[in-house]
Amino acid sequence: MLLRTAAHPLSQQLAARFAERIRDRLLAPGARLPSVRQCAAQHGVSPSTVVAAYDQLLAQGLAEARRNRGFFVRDLGQKTALAQTAAQSEALTDPQRARRLGAPISAATLMRGMFHPISDKPQPGMGILPPEWIGDGPIAAALRKVSSPAQLRDASGRYGEPAGDAWLRRVLAERLRVMGIDAAAGQIITTVGATQALDIVSRTLLKPGDAVMVEEPGWAIEFARLGALGARILPVPRHADGPDLAVMARYCEAHAGSAEAPRLYVSVSVLHNPTGACLSPAAAHRLLQLAHQHNFWIAEDDSYCHLAPAHATRLAMLDGLRRTIYIGGFAKILAPNWRVGFLAAPPQLLEPLLDTKLLSTLTTPSLPERALAHCIEQGQLRRHAEHVRARLDAARSRSVRLALQAGCRLASEPAGLFGWVDTGIDTDQLALRLLDHGYLLAPGALFHASRQPSTLMRINFASAQDAAFWKTFAQARKALAGRGGRAQNLANDVNRCD
């Protein structure tokens, strides 16, 4: 609550609240601030107080005014000289905030919320299962099995194998064979989670300026990561059955035979993030034909495989690891802090990919890899995943019911961990409102290569089954929608953009 005190004017308190959220990346660059009238009503102050607060944000280089459009968050990496001076001065007295100023741009908002929750409430915008769903699981017992004194000495006294623990790679090869993916143990490289596997692939196959096709909507972190590598991102619309192949063909044909032709396509074939859609066999066949015709690689991220239907279509299964690099991980289902992931690649790419791993992390820790191998081999991971899937099915049903009751509709068929929900309201504005109540949303704008307004948001079914959240959400949505039809007009404009 804003307090009426002589020492701290309301405008200064309001500006400080927005400034803190901008610097902490809870408000992402490009996000639209509430209109003066909306902000005044929301905080119970006069419009002149809001104008004074926004003026302070402009002076600090934290916001910018756009003619006839309103006020927007500025990119902290492009501050004016005045704002840079202020930041340098502030850094002398607040090291923690100085570190935040150097943080990645908008995609990091959700990551920060995952590591440092803004409240103790369930967070529907998060991308992980609740910790209590994972618990000790089978991993604690497996760790005891592989950590005898002799095994500890062996695992601690020297670096692990460059490609990863041999036992785990053999077990993974067998697991992939059961899934229909023919990969020998020698074609598998372990990594520090699936995220590092994606990074190794990108750093090996791309140089700054190379074109990469990425699904849109897509994983916000992937857009930011590829951008940081200097890649040229080519967004490909993602439909229920797979990517828009006509768009991909146009990208390829426009630069056929030149250095600007796409080098890589990054895909989440199964339980796509954020829509939950799965690739159809027909779309997969046409996609692989396109990849062979135009000579681009495919990085297939299957991080949600443990939550997926039994016989979902994978590109690596149909392709036989010729143009496809298959990527998996276990952080979504088991021991997130251990960060065990892997990639399975065509033989001709193994040495370059391994070189990149060695240059970035040398090797990966063998002890958690051996414990994971034990969990898989003994069937413990399979049984744990079955339990989680059953629990998620129940949570999904409840979350969908609550979302519909709150006035939303499902923009895609609910499946897996995530729901793609149409709120009918600009979700950047909704996110701003819900932040005041301790909830961090995942607005649809984050899932586009270039930020644009959206009425969509991603929810985590496991953490969106809290009726208190949806009650607060419905109140915020109603407040935004009840402004003389202006919100509905905005929603129509946003839908045209989407």
Question: Are residue 294 and residue 369 in the same domain, yes or no?
Answer: yes
Question: Are residue 156 and residue 304 in the same domain, yes or no?
Answer: yes
Q: Poorest-confidence range of 269-273, 281-285, 491-495?
A: 491-495
Mean pLDDT across 174-197: 95
Q: Poorest-confidence range of 5-14, 230-239, 421-430?
A: 5-14
What is the layout of strands, in order, in the sheet containing 188-192? 188-192, 340-344, 324-329, 297-301, 264-267, 211-216, 232-239, 242-243
What is d(CA 409, CA 422) in angstroms, rounded to the nearest whole number? Answer: 5
pLDDT of res. 470: 97
Query: How many CA atoms within 13 Å lie on the side-chain side of 268?
Result: 26
In the chain, the percentage of residues whose pLDDT exceeds 90 is 54
Question: Are residue 373 and residue 393 in the same domain, yes or no?
Answer: no
Question: Are residue 342 and residue 433 in the same domain, yes or no?
Answer: no
Burial class (CB in 10 A: 0-12, 13-18, 19+), 208: exposed
Question: Which CA distances in Å does 281 have to 176, 264, 296, 325?
Answer: 18, 21, 20, 18
**341/146: higher pLDDT:** 341
Structural domain ending residue among the three candidates 326, 342, 377: 377
| The pLDDT of residue 346 is above 80 | yes
Question: Are residue 355 and residue 428 in the same domain, yes or no?
Answer: no
| Residues 480 and 413 sit within 8 Å (Cβ to Cβ) | no
Confidence of residue 250 (pLDDT cuts 50, 70, 90): very high
Q: Identify the sign of the CA torsion 31, 442, 406, 433.
A: negative
pLDDT tens digits for range 154-182: 777 678 899 999 999 999 999 999 999 99
Question: Are residue 57 and residue 154 in the same domain, yes or no?
Answer: no
**40/245: higher pLDDT:** 245
Question: Are residue 267 and residue 118 in the same domain, yes or no?
Answer: no
Question: Are residue 7 and residue 55 in the same domain, yes or no?
Answer: yes
Question: 209: closest CA among 160, 149, 277, 255?
Answer: 255
Quick count: other Cβ atoms within 10 Å of Cβ 82?
11
| The pLDDT of residue 208 is above 70 | yes
The beta-strand segments (E) located in 54-128 are 63-66, 70-73
Q: Identify the sign of the CA torsion 386, 387, 390, 391.
A: negative
Tokens of 88: 């340098």
Confidence of residue 60 (pLDDT cuts 50, 70, 90): confident
Quick count: other Cβ atoms within 10 Å of Cβ 65?
13
| The pLDDT of residue 197 is above 80 | yes
| Residues 375 and 381 sit within 8 Å (Cβ to Cβ) | yes
Question: Are residue 2 and residue 144 in the same domain, yes or no?
Answer: no
Looking up residue 371, the CATH number of its domain turns out to be 3.40.640.10
Confidence of residue 295 (pLDDT cuts 50, 70, 90): very high
Looking up residue 69, the CATH number of its domain turns out to be 1.10.10.10
| The pLDDT of residue 136 is above 70 | no
Structural domain ending residue among the three candidates 377, 404, 430: 377
| The pLDDT of residue 477 is above 50 | yes
pLDDT of res. 497: 39
Mean pLDDT across 369-378: 92
Instruction: Please spell the DSSP secondary structure of 254-273, one letter per residue.
Output: HTTTSTTS--EEEE--SS-T
pLDDT of res. 485: 38
What is the number of structural domains in the chain?
3
Q: Poorest-confidence range of 18-27, 248-257, 315-324?
A: 18-27
Question: Are residue 271 and residue 284 in the same domain, yes or no?
Answer: yes
Highest mean pLDDT among 169-183, 426-440, 484-498: 169-183
**310/386: higher pLDDT:** 386
Question: Are residue 71 and residue 118 in the same domain, yes or no?
Answer: no
Instruction: Please spell the DSSP secondary structure of 162-214, one letter per residue.
Output: TT--HHHHHHHHHHHHHHT----GGGEEEEEHHHHHHHHHHHHH--TT-EEEE
The whole domain housing 178 covers 139-377
Question: Which CA distances in Å does 161 have to 32, 189, 192?
Answer: 49, 10, 14
Q: What is the CA radius of gyration of the chain?
A: 24
pLDDT of res. 147: 80
**246/42: higher pLDDT:** 246
| The pLDDT of residue 89 is above 50 | no
pLDDT of res. 228: 86
pLDDT of res. 230: 92
Tokens of 344: 């399975």
In the chain, the percentage of residues whose pLDDT exceeds 70 is 87
Structural domain ending residue among the three candidates 331, 348, 377: 377
Question: Are residue 229 and residue 313 in the same domain, yes or no?
Answer: yes
pLDDT of res. 105: 30
pLDDT of res. 109: 55
Looking up residue 449, the CATH number of its domain turns out to be 3.90.1150.10
Q: Which alpha helices (H) appear in 300-445, and where do they start and end?
A: 315-319, 347-361, 366-377, 380-405, 427-435
Q: What average pLDDT does the structure give for the chain? A: 85
Amino acid at 418: F
